[in-house]
Amino acid sequence: MPSVQLADASLNYRFDGADDAPVLVLSNSLGTSLGMWDEQIPAFAEQFRVLRYDTRGHGDSSVTPGPYSIEQLGRDVLGMLDTLGIEKFSFCGLSMGGLIGQWLGIHAGPRLERLVLCNTGAKIGADQVWNDRIALVQGGREQAMRDMRDASIARWFTPGFAEAQPDAASRITSMIASTSPDGYAANCAAVRDADFREQIAGISAPTLIVCGRQDAVTTVEHGEFMQQRIAGAELVAFEAAHLSNVEAGEAFTLQVLNFLRS
């Protein structure tokens, strides 16, 4: 897959869909790659020129010295779009990708057609949780990433889904084991330091908030907090845990497509 060169990093990206279709950018969660969106691509690419990319520190994108910030990751998106000659776009991000989407909504609103914030929050988790995870990864490195993969099954999926579709769950969780420990820790710091609770009211793009009713990481209450502060925001909740695009599958895809086309 191609990559775009920014000032201090290269971002791995992929296009799907017609060249003349409106652009939809998809942003991955912490510990995954652009492959987390595979199930959505056939339907999304019928309507959009879909641009997926590996967030800095993930997949085949550069692992630069950390810690990172959400602002830095948001500017990566804008730099990629500028290099590719794209001015207007819609954006769909999940978890960490949803934090990047909030930053773009606050700071690059005129460029956004529509915004989808999935399984995310204006503030995700307590600082100590992230500090402990950073210390764990930096101390154990590759073994810690393998342990993180095993633990992520319970965070990312409901027990019923993990049992009924083990291959689908394993495909996604295996991404975390192959993520750079340095890149993962640097992105943990970005999530830790992000707090948009006082800023999200500045988002003016039409916004859809997607939640998982069984998501213990970013709860429906996280979604309702954002909905109450973003004018006109819509909210939908699925019977899913943290990776609702995988667990809710077709229902997720159709709901997001309906919003993007409305």
DSSP tag of 77: H
pLDDT for the residue numbered 155? 87
CATH classification at residue 244: 3.40.50.1820
Strand order in the sheet with 207-212: 3-5, 10-16, 49-53, 23-27, 89-94, 112-118, 207-212, 234-238
Residue range of the domain that includes 133 = 3-261
- What is the rounded distance in angstroms from the CA atom of residue 177 to the CA atom of residue 256? 29
Q: Helix 181-193 and helix 142-156: axis angle, to 10°?
A: 50
Which is nearest to 212 in space by CA: 90, 99, 120, 92?
120
- H-only helix segments in 109-209: 127-140, 142-156, 159-164, 166-177, 181-193
Q: What is the pLDDT of residues 10-41, one digit of tens each?
A: 999 999 999 999 999 999 999 999 999 999 99
Q: What is the pLDDT of residues 168-194, one digit of tens each?
A: 999 999 999 899 999 999 999 999 999
Helix (H, G, I), strand (E, B) or coil at 14: strand
pLDDT for the residue numbered 100? 98
The proportion of the chain whose per-residue pLDDT surpasses 70, expressed as a percent, equals: 100
Helix (H, G, I), strand (E, B) or coil at 31: coil
Kind of pairing between the strands at 112-118 and 89-94: parallel
What's the total number of domains in the chain?
1
